Structure 1
Amino acid sequence: MKEKTIDYILRSTWMGVQKMYNEEASKKDSTMATGFALISIDPEEGTPSTALGPKMGMEATSLSRTLKNMEAKGLIERKPNPEDGRGVLIHLTPFGKEMREFSKNVVLRFDEAVKENISEEELKTFTKVANTILELINSKKIYTKKIA
């Protein structure tokens, strides 16, 4: 193809971001998935394990593996949910809170670098385009016509 498709641009950009985050996370013997989970867990109240998957856009099996690894590394602990006897709250350990701060700073530095190199107007346009694409996907408006 002469021109790159929108799909190609999105995919290659995200793969680059993912690689960059994993390289930064590896400096602390971690992964992007672990960093994302750390940022998604409420550092004070904990987060129900059932809420993490949807919040992170992760499948249950991947999330389960990530949480198991995080628990083994001493980043999290599981406690019974006092409001739901069947549920479990994921809490950050002191080490988990420290690593959460590291992960948060990695994300914020990425945001800063982008904002230093892209105008506010361009970022507004990017956000509008990305939200429109997401809306098209979520409303299932892309593949509505049958292909013969």
Structure 2
Amino acid sequence: MAEADWDEVKYIGRRQPKSGTLKTPQALSAAQRQGVAIDTEKKFAGGQNKQHSAAKNTAKLDRETEELHHEHVPLDLAKLIQQARQAKGWTQKELATKICEKPQVVNEYEAGKAIPNQQIISKLERNLGVKLRGKDKGQPLEGRKEK
């Protein structure tokens, strides 16, 4: 064996304290005496249930929600749908069944509360036989075969 091996001292069964156990002042001072590296940092809102600064986020959220709004179905389109449906003698539920949507969807379109969906408007056009988009709104749909 080399002579350098005899200069090393190795302790068996004695471990360095983990950082999680250095919470009491006695454990900290014992670790300092042993020469263990101690990491001290102040944690933001440590021990509290605060995740964000609420004041900044609410103001930012208010600004964003004021600027953003959804476009709704225009009232002229809502009236066209309603008139075409009544001309066919259908209820909202019957029209909804024909376009494979819920009755609530037809109700929202006729009330002008729905967010326009081109697929649903297209289904309504085909089933009602009336143009609901473009310059000639309200005109009969050409090429429609009556059943």
TM-score clears 0.5: no
Q: Specify which structure has the higher proportion of helix.
A: 1
Task: Report the TM-score range of the alignment, normalised by the length of the smaller protein.
Answer: under 0.3
TM-score (norm 1): 0.23
- The structure having more radius of gyration, on CA atoms, is 2
Q: Specify which structure has the higher proportion of strand.
A: 1
TM-score (norm 2): 0.23
